Each structure stands twice: as C-alpha cells, then as structure tokens.
Chain A
Amino acid sequence: MKKNNPETPPKEEQLNALEEHLAGTLVPITPPSELVVRMRERIRVPQREEIVSQIGNWQRLFLVFGGVMSGFVLIVTVARTFFYFVARK
C-alpha cells in the first residue's frame, strides 16, 4: 500500500501553487504597435480605385483566356481535318 510522504504538500496546496505559477507564466502581452499597424495594412479593405483596376485586370484575363481557348479550338480543328484526310487515304 502506498504511503503518503509527510513532506509532500496536500493536493489542494499543490494545485493552488500550480495555479499561481500558471498565472505568472501565462501573462497577457501587447503586440508591438508596429506589428499592429503592419497587420492592419495586411487586412485593409481595398479602395474603390483598386477594385476598378482589378476589374480591368479581370477583363484582360478574360481576353487572354478567350484567346487561348480560341487558339486551342483552331488547333484541334486543323488536327481533325488533317487526320480525316489521312485516314481516307
């Protein structure tokens, strides 16, 4: 049978001491102001002009995407025509 060590503090005392250490270790910290500003910059809402310029970029993106798809369809059509004639011979 396990005997209690007379030098070991009772459970409640141990837990109270642990709580005190936790309170001393887990202390609130204030993020440095430059860090707060930097984060604010990162999450800021884009201005109206930026949104307009983004839409401009999207239009360009659509044009590029449309051009690529058209080129792809053209290549496929030429390839099919070529194989059509080759297969007939």
Chain B
Amino acid sequence: MPDTEFNEEDVLNRAAQGESEAFGLLYERYIDRIFNYVYYRTGNLHDAEDLTARVFQRAMNHIKNYTDRGVPFSAWLYRIAHNLVANWHRDRSRRQEIPINDVPILPSKGDHPEKNLVRSQEEDSLLRLIRRLPPERQNLLILKFVENMSNAEIGAITGRSEGAVKSLYHRTLLSLRDQLGDQKINLDGE
C-alpha cells in the first residue's frame, strides 16, 4: 500500500479500539520486516515463523497500551521481537540443544528462501560470525543491511543517538574484521 493512502496514526487508533481490519493493515505493512529480523536472529524458518506470529499476537493483545512517544510503531514491534528472540535463545541454552553457532544456516537470497539453499561458504562463515556478536550489534547489522535503514532510523528504534549508532557500527566492523582474521577466513575466496 502506498504511504499516501496509509495514515499510520489513524490505523493505530482504530487498531487500539479493537478494529481487527486496522490491525490487519499493520500486519501487512510490517510482516516482512519483522520476519526478516527474526529470521536473521534465529537462523531457521520454522522458528522465524513461530516467533513472528507470536510478535504480532503479542502486539495485538497489547496494542491498547501502545502510546506514541515519538518513536515509530516499528520500534515497538522490534522491541517485542527482540524480547521474544532473547527468550528463545535463553530457552535453547537451557535445553542445551544444538549450539546456536552450529545451527544450519538456511536460505536466503531471493523471494523464496527454501528454494535458494545455496549460500557460499564465505557467506555462511560470515553469518556464523555475525550470530556470535552481542545482540545489539546483530540488531544493528540487520537493520542496516536487511532493512536498509539509516543510522538515524536505527537510533530511533534502538534508543541511541545517531552518533552512538555510527560508533557502534564502526566498532562492529572492526570486531568482525578481527574475528575473520583470527579464524583465517578470507571472504574474497582467494
């Protein structure tokens, strides 16, 4: 739906009053973003589906409590997603299942992840390194590259200043570069 036809404030008000159709519009608008975020944080489609559905279920149940404090609605959704993903990681570590770094990294490029299972070894290595980063750094990279957000937009979502996001991004790149060097991973495949 084009932005000109979508008055988010109005839709949010209607959704808060229990209008399911309005919530449906929000769902359509944010489903891809939240799914991408959860997918890259978990690394598998099944859990990404389950957690994404739970994000929207929780949002629907609590949308009456949502108040516009100058941060975008997406920030509220990302916060819910972040909390659910954090719980998911905690539960996994308690159950001592497969370590997260060993989770097979599925899909990715293209519209249908399950049809594009081929990912280069270098990309797999890089994804595994990204998953070892602290959550706030993973969030930053996902929002920057997957969602293509500016530092200011990321700051609005993560509650940091634009400068703080820029600084964190630089430190994240340095850290990744060092880890690639430590593990002797050459991304150029040479």
Contacts and interface: CB of A to CB of B under 8 A. Distances in A.
B122 A21 contact: yes
A63 to B, nearest CB: 27
B134 to A, nearest CB: 16
Interface in A39-75: 39-40, 42-45
A27 interface: yes
B32 A28 contact: yes
- Main secondary structure, interface of B, reads helix
B103 interface: no
Interface stretch (B92-100, B107-115, B152-160): B107-115
A22 interface: yes
A6 interface: no
B101 to A, nearest CB: 16
A28 B173 contact: no
B40 A26 contact: yes
Contacts of A39: 31, 49, 52-53, 56
Contacts of B31: 31, 36, 39
18 contacts: A15-B173, A18-B180, A21-B122, A21-B126, A21-B187, A22-B176, A24-B123, A26-B146, A28-B146, A28-B148, A31-B31, A35-B45, A39-B49, A39-B52, A42-B53, A43-B56, A43-B60, A45-B23
